[in-house]
Structure 1
Amino acid sequence: MGAFPQTIHFIGTNTPRQQEYKLQDLEVHGEIPAAIDGTFFRAVPDNAQDPMFEDDIALNHDGMISAFSFAGGKVDFSIKYVETQRYLAEKEAGRALFGRYRNPFTDDPAAEGMDRTLANTTPVWHAGRLFMTKEDGRGYEVNPHTLATEGRWDYEGKLKSETFTAHPRIDPETGEMFFFGYQAAGLCSLDVAYCIADKDGNLVKEQWFDQPYCSTIHDFVITENYAIFPIFPTLADLDRLKEGGAHWAHHQDKPSYLGIMPRYGDVSEMVWIEGPKGVSCFHEVNAFEDGDTVHVDLCLSDTNAFGFMREAGGIDIPQQEIGGALTRWSVDMSADELAIAQQPLGPPGDLCRVEDAAQGRPYGRAWYLSMNPQAKGPPMLGGPVGANFNALLRIDPTTGQLAMMETPPGAAISEPAHVPSPDAGHGGWLLCMIDLPNGPPGAGDPSDYSSELWVVEADNIEAGAIATIKTGRPLRSQVHGTWVSRAKLENSCRKG
């Protein structure tokens, strides 16, 4: 094309920046608690090349990893491309070789047989290694000290699945990582690989099963005894791809499902429980057991939240008319006939977080992003739906009690990371990227903004930031992030 399209996927916080750099001793307002010692890693997709197609989407942009490194109350910043096979091939060619999102039939012939993954969704830390992941391929290991790409990770040749989820779950007591890959055998296959890596990072189990239809299984959850796969009717179709079409199309008339199996069991024990038709969810908050009942808390909407996935399915629902809620699905596993009981928990939103210690256990608080109904002015443009979230919520799922942190008019907020406190009784902190317009909200150039990192008391979010870290730069929309403590970094498998 020779230029970036002026669509929602390339303006606002989706504006291509195409810069690798380091910043030392960033400007800090307020005081950073001494216990915040480590690195906040963020996945930040950003195009390295102009796209092939005018209707390219934000999910199809090259992976970058950024790092805010905290030590002694000071913060340094760095950002670097993940050097995937795709990124390196296009860098050498000086142009895009890969076409539409997850559609190899639209690629330049020079890209045939190459790894298409962008590794642009989630930084994952496990057993002393840092990975950048995206569900359409295997993860890429990244040096946590230098952000240099070490290469694709396949557990020393043991992993058979061609894909690795962007949302593994790590048990806080055993240190095991539970993960999966869908379309594990290749494009549009029904195969799902369910895997377990032990606390030392060894792949100890990989089993395959078929899902009811070829859906996007973006996330899943575990409890102490179960692995749970919520799936929703956003489907891939090989014939559509061969015609040059979209990978995903939402189907409003098809049911959702919960797949539940013993987490250490055999996939033959999987049971599929039919759920409501047409609903969609990208992220689950958590899951836990209460006697014989399994609860799954999820950010549910009544259709797919991504406009391009609705449009591919012929669904004409304006973004502002999509309904939803933070929702609990419950299943009594002792019942003769398993069924999903549904209960709303809180306002709609997404990009949720629980503290690591609560993973798969009963929990008393979670944080997620939403829209402030009292906000003045339009939201900042960006993200995969074209408009960013502007509020952070804290919810007690047992009581429904809510707290909200507002952002300044016209600002955007990204998914928080939780930093635990060493002090018993203290709830720790959240790290939240805030993008602030440099001019009047909703007026002027939507790409003209500045990004800063807020440090927030996790149990007092309504008070706002106790410290802000200024970058002086506009940073691309974040997808997901993760906090890694200094102790873990010092014991990593890679050295600086």
Structure 2
Amino acid sequence: MGAFPQTIHFIGTNTPRQQEYELEGLEVEGEIPAAIDGAFFRAVPDNAHAPMFDDDIALNHDGMIAKFDISGGKVSFGIKYVETERYLLEKAAGKALFGRYRNPFTDDPSVAGKDRTLANTTPVWHGGRLFMTKEDGRGYEVNPHTLETAGRWDYEGKLRSQTFTAHPRIDAETGEMFFFGYEAGGLCDPHVAYCIADADGNLVKEEWFEQPYPSTIHDFVITDHYAIFPIFPTLCDLDRLKAGGAHWAHHQDLPSYVGIMPRYGDVSEMRWVKGPIGVSCFHEVNAFEEGDTVHIDLCLTNTNAFAFMREAGGIDIPQQEIQGALTRWSVDMSADELALAERPLGPPGDLCRVEDAVQGRPYDRAWYLSMNPEAKGPPMLGGPVGANFNCLLRINPQTGQLAMMETPPGAAISEPAHVVSPEQGHGGWLLSVIDIPNGPPGAGDPADYSSEVWVIEADAIEKGPIAKIKTGKALRSQVHGTWVSREKLAASKLEG
């Protein structure tokens, strides 16, 4: 193919931009608090080349790392491609060489056995290093000052797993990072590697276990005493891949599971509990212990939210008919036979955030994205499911109390990052990119919009932004983002 297909994966906020650039002195409307001093990093997939197949998907686009550097109320911006092995091979060839999403059997023969990861999902900061991650391979280290790619990261040769999750969990008290890799031994391998890196970034633990079926495990959670692996019936199949088919197919007739083990224990201590049939979740909000009971809060839907994963499983459910809720799963760990209790907490949504300090501990507030049922006009096209979220929710999971921040008609909102306030009793701020149509919502070119960063009081989101950072650009859809303070940036292992 010489041009981009005009499918949902290449229009709206998925429109290819293919630009690396830097901007200084971005316009700021309002005032950014002086305590917001650091960098907001974003993972932004963007094709460097037209795809080999016209049914390509947004998750299969080259990784870019974007950075809003904020200090003294002034903001600069930069964006660069992550120079993975895949990116460099295609750059040298001047065209796409890697085929369908996570299917090496569809690649050009010249790249057989090469690293396929795009490093396009989550920027992760730990041990003084910045990584760009995608769960189909190992992470790539990126210089946080220059955004130059330092190279693939394998803990100085110590990591055996071929994959690294896009969603590690970091304990704010110990500084340790808990992470995993599924398909750890290679394509369609049912083994999962469970790992711990200490506060200095050294790999101190790696143990492998086998999951009940070879599923996609996008996220997991920790508590003070446990590591918890919720898994859902979206399965890979080697024969399907060899036939040129999809990596993932959702099975509506299979149960979900939760694997729970001591977080410092051995994988042989893993206990499995069966969950509801056919459900799906990509992101857990948090988990914590209450006596002997473990609570897991998750963004649950009654089927897989990605159309291409449903279709590969023969499931015909329109996107607008998917049901879901912010949900709590509870397990009494003192029971001889584990059982799962379920109750809804809040409206459906995803791309959730808690402040770092409460990771794995009881908490009284979380933020996540949803669809405003009273929004005027159609949602902005783009993102991996074809339509972007248009509002931000704040929830107290203990009381169910909700607050909502609306966006302009037809606008899209990306996952927020949380910035801690040094002021006692102040809840800090959220940073989120808002994409706003330049014309009437749904009436013009879906690629014609302007992106800005909103600075929002974390405990008063209903008041809207206290400052807006104008980019003058239309930015590609973000997957995930993270905030890194100036203090941490100054202590980074790589110099600018």
TM band (smaller chain): over 0.9
| Map 1:292-441 → 2, pairs under 5 A | 292-441=292-441
SS of residue paired to 1:156: coil
Counterpart of 1:455? 455
SS of residue paired to 1:285: strand
Residue identity opposite 1:233 in structure 2: P
Counterpart of 2:95? 95
Counterpart of 1:258? 258
Q: How many angstroms apart in 2 are the aligned matches of 1:479 and 1:168? A: 15
Q: How many angstroms apart in 2 are the aligned matches of 1:484 and 1:350? A: 22
SS of residue paired to 1:164: coil
Deviations 1:256-295 (A, max 9, x none): 0000000000000001100000000000000000000000
Counterpart of 1:225? 225
**Structure 2: which 5+ runs fail to align?**
none
SS of residue paired to 1:495: coil
Q: How many angstroms apart in 1 are the aligned matches of 2:351 and 2:378? A: 20
SS of residue paired to 1:377: coil
Deviations 1:311-356 (A, max 9, x none): 0000000001000000000000011221000010000000000000
Q: How many angstroms apart in 2 are the aligned matches of 1:360 and 1:415? A: 20
Q: How many angstroms apart in 1 are the aligned matches of 2:37 and 2:480? A: 20
Residue identity opposite 1:422 in structure 2: P
SS of residue paired to 1:89: helix
Identity between Structure 1 and Structure 2 (%):
83
Q: How many angstroms apart in 2 are the aligned matches of 1:384 and 1:126? A: 27
| Post-superposition offset of 1:77 | 0.2
Residue identity opposite 1:493 in structure 2: K
Counterpart of 2:473? 473
SS of residue paired to 1:179: strand
| Post-superposition offset of 1:302 | 0.2
Q: How many angstroms apart in 2 are the aligned matches of 1:181 and 1:443? A: 43
Deviations 1:413-441 (A, max 9, x none): 00000000001100000001000000100
**TM-score for the superposition, normalised by structure 1:** 1.00
Q: How many angstroms apart in 1 are the aligned matches of 2:272 and 2:101? A: 29
SS of residue paired to 1:281: strand
Counterpart of 2:135? 135
Deviations 1:91-133 (A, max 9, x none): 0000000000000000000111110000000000001000000
SS of residue paired to 1:304: coil
Q: How many angstroms apart in 2 are the aligned matches of 1:127 and 1:153? A: 13
Counterpart of 1:112? 112
Q: 2:80 aligned with 1:80, yes or no?
A: yes
Counterpart of 2:2? 2
Q: How many residues align?
A: 496
Q: How many angstroms apart in 2 are the aligned matches of 1:89 and 1:373? A: 45
Residue identity opposite 1:79 in structure 2: I
Q: How many angstroms apart in 1 are the aligned matches of 2:384 and 2:156? A: 34
SS of residue paired to 1:227: strand
SS of residue paired to 2:91: helix
SS of residue paired to 1:59: helix
Deviations 1:376-419 (A, max 9, x none): 00000000000000000000000000000000000000000000
Give the 4+ runs in structure 1 shifted more than 6 A.
none
**TM-score for the superposition, normalised by structure 2:** 1.00
Q: How many angstroms apart in 1 are the aligned matches of 2:383 and 2:248? A: 18
Q: How many angstroms apart in 1 are the aligned matches of 2:177 and 2:357? A: 14
Counterpart of 1:279? 279
SS of residue paired to 1:294: strand
SS of residue paired to 2:357: helix
Residue identity opposite 1:158 in structure 2: K
Q: How many angstroms apart in 1 are the aligned matches of 2:384 and 2:198? A: 34
Q: How many angstroms apart in 2 are the aligned matches of 1:125 and 1:475? A: 23
Deviations 1:204-262 (A, max 9, x none): 00000000001000000000000000000000000000000000000000000000000
Counterpart of 2:36? 36
Counterpart of 1:191? 191
Residue identity opposite 2:189 in structure 1: S
Q: How many angstroms apart in 2 are the aligned matches of 1:235 and 1:190? A: 10
Counterpart of 1:209? 209
SS of residue paired to 1:326: strand
Counterpart of 1:172? 172
Q: How many angstroms apart in 2 are the aligned matches of 1:56 and 1:102? A: 11
Q: How many angstroms apart in 2 are the aligned matches of 1:125 and 1:393? A: 25
Q: How many angstroms apart in 1 are the aligned matches of 2:58 and 2:311? A: 16
Q: How many angstroms apart in 2 are the aligned matches of 1:277 and 1:383? A: 27
